[in-house]
Amino acid sequence: LAPLPSPCPCLSGSLQNGSRWALSFDMSSLSSSQEVSLAQLRVRLPGLSRSHNASLDIYHSQRRRCRPDGFCAHQLFLGTVAGTPSATQASWKVFEVTNLLRGWLHQAVPAGQQSRWEVNGSAAAAAPGDTGDVADSVLLLVFSKDKSPGEHSLIRTAETSKYIMRESGWRGAGARRQRRNRMERQRIKGSAPREQGREQDRPLCRRVDMLVDFEQTGWGSWIVYPKKYNAYRCEGLCPSPVDETFKPTNHAYIQSLLQLYKPNQVPCPACSPVKMSPLSMLYYERGEIVVRHHEDMIIEECGCN
């Protein structure tokens, strides 16, 4: 699939100091499940010209109302873009920021880089705040594509929500829920019958060999090639809850969560093929030798569904 323009991160603040600018964007629309193919910062700002080096400090920033008379803002410094920008016919200066965004999206936020300040009608002096008259003079253009196959998964949605800045109360409630869930899992594990314990010792879902010999199936008289091939098969247990290693559907993920708490009512997802490949075969058909390509003959990957 060709990369598509992502929803453009909005400029949320700016600050000028000579030819140095600090620009703040709300990048909540971007996700670590996306692969950034190209990112360009296009600006038409005072103090920037093609004849001398320019410097832009880039921030990710979010604002939310935290009290009746003001906002709380969270800011993260992403990096500095410096150098002589390229120019377009429309007098826009273009900075390449692809690697900067890739580095931010695909690594955890280092400790100490995230800051918080309160805004009461205007921005704090140390942070880019009001966009002033430059909102129409700054454009962050991002081309990306989703790295995940198919639709968005619930697992990925939960894991990539690190850009959502939650209330501290939510964190406390989440910690209590996690403790309850951990105690419940321990209770279930302790009360499981011995047979179930032995079952848990089985290997997890994986692909194993399954050799097909057409002579043994009775097809050897009309199949010329291949006489034998490895079709593979899927074998093993699916864990509860299942993770993305096993490429579950959203339904399988929900089923694995329910199985964790209702083991006597809900079975585990089944270890089954999630990716197949064709097999080219040479055989007799109506007295002639033909070549046919048959789909779904070889298991390439196994997963839990």
Non-local (6+) Cβ contacts of 33 within 8 A are 146, 147, 148, 152, 156, 160
**Cβ–Cβ < 8 Å for 277, 230:** no
- The pLDDT-based confidence of 163 (bands split at 50, 70, 90) is very low
Regarding pTM above 0.95, the answer is no
Give yes or no for residue 300 having a pLDDT over 90: yes
Task: State residue 76's pLDDT score.
Answer: 84
Least confident of 62-76, 117-131, 198-212, 218-232: 117-131
| 167-223 per-position pLDDT tens digit | 444 444 445 555 555 555 455 445 444 445 555 567 899 999 999 999 998 898 888
What pLDDT was estimated at residue 148? 54
- State residue 114's pLDDT score: 45
- pLDDT tens readout for residues 221-254: 888 889 999 999 999 999 888 888 888 888 888 8
Stretch(es) of the chain classified as CATH 2.10.90.10? 203-304
Show the tokens assigned to 103: 């580095």
Model pLDDT for residues 248-298, shown as the tens digit of each residue: 888 888 888 888 888 888 888 999 999 999 988 888 888 888 888 889 999
DSSP codes, 64-101:
EEEETTEEEEEEEEEEEEEE--EE-TTS-EEEE-HHHH
Mean pLDDT (whole number) for 55-73:
75
> Which is it for the CA torsion 109, 110, 113, 115, positive or negative?
positive
Q: What residue type is 187 in one-letter code?
A: R
Closest residue by Cα to residue 36 from 142, 107, 110, 138 = 142
**102 φ/ψ angles, rounded to the nearest 5 degrees:** -60, -45
Q: What is the model's pLDDT at position 206?
A: 93
**Tens-place pLDDT, residues 3-44:** 444 556 777 777 877 777 888 888 877 776 677 888 888 888
* CATH 2.10.90.10 corresponds to the domain 203-304: yes
Query: How many Å apart are CA 280 and CA 292, to the nearest integer?
Result: 6
Greater confidence, 85 or 246? 246
Cβ-based neighbours of 233, under 8 Å, separated by 6 or more: 207, 208, 209, 210, 299
pLDDT of residue 281: 87
pLDDT at 16: 77
